[in-house]
Structures are given as structure tokens and as C-alpha cells.
């Protein structure tokens, strides 16, 4: 019995140590110190400021391990930390130029992302769900909680038409006049488009992710699925070619799509 209790205690603490949250400080001074080790006498190695977002991991000792957007890692007592609702936030790894030293982590509000950002998005700071299988035009990604099927197909030419835009350039649009992504202006059709992205949560009815039409030449090998650790997941992939290259990001949960974000990373 003692061995069972010890085992459950260890499992609970391992699980706890792996759970990461986003927080802000709770300090009337408007800042709080980051310590090198988990005690109040330890060396101060940085500060957290009011309204600053950071990651933290809980610890039974009461000293939480924090990681800031300035790459400072240390400890702050739990009395100085308040958890925030991270469902409207997104943790990015970005770069402002061509050099590695320009790369850093940041946490921003989802609704502030734009088609053209003043930085390159080079990754997301969430655990990736590994590939299970790829075959031809299909890809499967899954873990114990979720299964995702990403399937492409040949473009159905009857769904689209060409027109001359106001700049005198030939472009392709849908029969309803909607714009498309991932297509370089010419009178040739792109090769493939998304057939569907099916999401299946454990014990739930599968559904098809909406707003996946008109995204051309998506690259299966670029597909990444992330666990946001709050009941939400993300799928990110690249598509298009040359000047029409794009990235697509879908944030979703077991109820359906939360946000679709299309951007050009150049």
C-alpha cells in the first residue's frame, strides 16, 4: 500500500511539473524579483514587471519556476503570481532579422496577429503532437486525446475562374468572386487544394475544420499540430509558392474552430 501511495505521489508531481501556465505578477510594487534558486535569500537574476506575460510551472514548495520573454529562467514565490486566461493569447518564437540573436519568445493576444507582421514567426512555444503516418495526399497526427486527418486533392477547375484585376494582372478567384491563397498569378491552375481536415477528440463526434477551402498547394511535410495545454489545439502549415507563399494557423477545441489566421512570412 505504501508503495502504491508513493507511486501515485510521484506520478502526480511529474504531471504537475510538466504542466505549464501563463501568468502575470500579483505585486503592489508593480514588479517582483526572479531568484536564481527557490528561496527568498537566493541571488536576484531578473525582474517581472506589471502586465508582463510569462510562463511558469507550479511546484509543491511554493516557489514556481518562471521563464520570461527575455529568456530569464528562475524562481518566484506563488504569492506573487496570478494565472491568466491564456485562451486569447498565443506564445510565439519570432525573429526580426536574419540573425539568431534576433530570435526570442513572446506572448501576444491572438487578435493582434495580422496578415503582415513586423516579424517572422518561426515557431510556437507549445508541445508538438508527433506524426503517426503519411501516405500520398494524406497525413495523420494523433495522441491519446485527439486525432487529426489532413487530406489534399487535385484542384477542381470548375470551382474557379480568371479575371483581370485593377492593376491589369490576371488572377484566379472562386466562382463566387472570393480571393484565394497560394496561387501565383497566371492562367495555369494550381496543382492541389485541401479536401478536408477532420478533427476527432476522444469520445466526441468527429467534425471537419471549416474555412480550409481556397488554400492551395499546402505542403503536408510542413504540417505541425500543437497542444496549447488548455483544451485548445493548433495546426500550422505552409502552402503556395514563391510570392504567393503563405502560412495558415487554425486554433480549435473539441467544439470547433476558434480562429483562423493566414499570414505571409516574408
Q: Residue 182, SS3?
A: coil
Residue 220, φ and ψ in degrees, nearest 5: -60, -40
pLDDT of residue 120: 78
Domains in the chain (CATH in brackets) are 2-84 (2.30.30.40), 126-263 (2.40.128)
pLDDT of residue 177: 78
pLDDT surpasses 80 at 56: yes
Percent of the chain whose pLDDT exceeds 70: 86
pLDDT of residue 97: 61
Residue 215 DSSP one-character state: B
Q: Which pTM value belongs to this model?
A: 0.76
pLDDT of residue 11: 38
**Percent helix, percent strand, percent coil in the chain, to nearest 5:** 15, 45, 40
pLDDT surpasses 90 at 252: yes
pLDDT band at 100, cuts 50/70/90? low
pLDDT surpasses 70 at 239: yes
The H-assigned helical ranges of the chain are 2-18
- Interatomic CA distance for residues 264 and 58, integer angstroms: 36
**Range among 40-44, 87-91, 133-137, 218-222 rated most confident:** 40-44
- Interatomic CA distance for residues 123 and 32, integer angstroms: 29
154: left (phi over 0), alpha (psi -120 to 50) or beta: beta
Do residues 36 and 45 lie in contact, with contact meaning Cβ atoms separated by under 8 Å? yes
- Interatomic CA distance for residues 107 and 51, integer angstroms: 11
Give which of 150, 160, 171, 158 is closest to 243, Cα–Cα: 171
**Range among 49-53, 73-77, 129-133, 164-168 rated most confident:** 73-77
Mean pLDDT for the stretch of residues 95-115: 72
pLDDT of residue 117: 66
pLDDT of residue 102: 67
pLDDT of residue 98: 59
Percent of the chain whose pLDDT exceeds 90: 38
pLDDT surpasses 80 at 12: no
Residue 116 C-alpha from the chain's centroid: 17
Residue 28 C-alpha from the chain's centroid: 33
Give which of 74, 150, 116, 113 is closest to 264, Cα–Cα: 116
pLDDT surpasses 90 at 174: no
**Range among 7-16, 104-113, 136-145, 152-161 rated most confident:** 136-145
pLDDT band at 237, cuts 50/70/90? very high
- Interatomic CA distance for residues 212 and 248, integer angstroms: 9
Residues 6+ away with beta carbon under 8 Å from 30: 49, 50
pLDDT surpasses 50 at 44: yes
Amino acid at each position: 500500500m505504501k508503495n502504491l501511495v508513493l507511486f501515485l505521489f510521484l506520478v502526480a508531481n511529474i504531471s504537475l511539473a510538466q504542466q505549464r501556465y501563463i501568468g502575470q505578477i500579483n505585486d503592489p510594487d508593480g514588479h517582483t524579483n526572479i531568484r536564481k534558486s527557490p528561496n527568498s535569500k537566493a541571488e536576484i537574476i531578473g525582474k517581472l514587471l506589471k502586465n508582463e506575460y510569462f510562463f511558469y510551472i507550479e511546484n509543491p514548495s511554493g516557489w514556481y519556476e518562471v521563464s520570461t520573454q527575455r529568456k530569464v529562467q528562475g524562481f518566484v514565490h506563488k504569492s506573487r503570481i496570478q494565472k491568466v486566461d491564456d485562451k486569447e493569447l498565443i506564445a510565439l518564437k519570432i525573429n526580426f532579422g536574419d540573425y539568431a540573436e534576433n530570435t526570442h519568445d513572446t506572448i501576444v493576444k491572438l487578435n493582434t496577429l495580422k496578415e503582415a507582421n513586423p516579424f517572422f514567426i518561426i515557431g510556437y512555444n507549445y508541445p508538438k503532437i508527433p506524426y503517426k503516418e503519411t501516405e500520398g495526399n494524406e497525413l495523420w497526427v494523433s495522441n491519446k486525446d485527439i486525432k487529426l486527418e489532413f487530406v489534399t486533392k487535385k484542384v477542381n477547375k470548375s470551382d474557379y475562374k480568371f479575371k483581370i484585376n485593377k492593376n491589369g494582372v490576371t488572377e484566379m478567384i472562386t466562382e463566387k468572386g472570393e480571393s484565394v491563397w497560394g496561387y501565383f498569378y497566371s492562367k495555369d491552375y494550381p496543382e492541389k487544394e485541401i479536401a478536408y481536415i477532420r478533427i476527432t477528440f476522444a469520445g466526441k463526434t468527429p467534425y471537419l475544420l471549416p474555412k480550409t477551402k481556397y488554400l492551395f498547394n499546402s505542403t503536408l511535410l510542413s504540417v505541425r499540430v500543437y497542444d496549447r495545454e488548455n483544451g485548445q489545439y493548433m495546426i500550422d502549415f505552409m502552402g503556395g509558392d514563391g510570392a504567393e507563399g503563405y502560412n495558415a494557423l487554425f486554433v480549435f477545441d473539441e467544439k470547433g474552430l476558434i480562429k483562423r489566421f493566414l499570414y505571409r512570412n516574408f
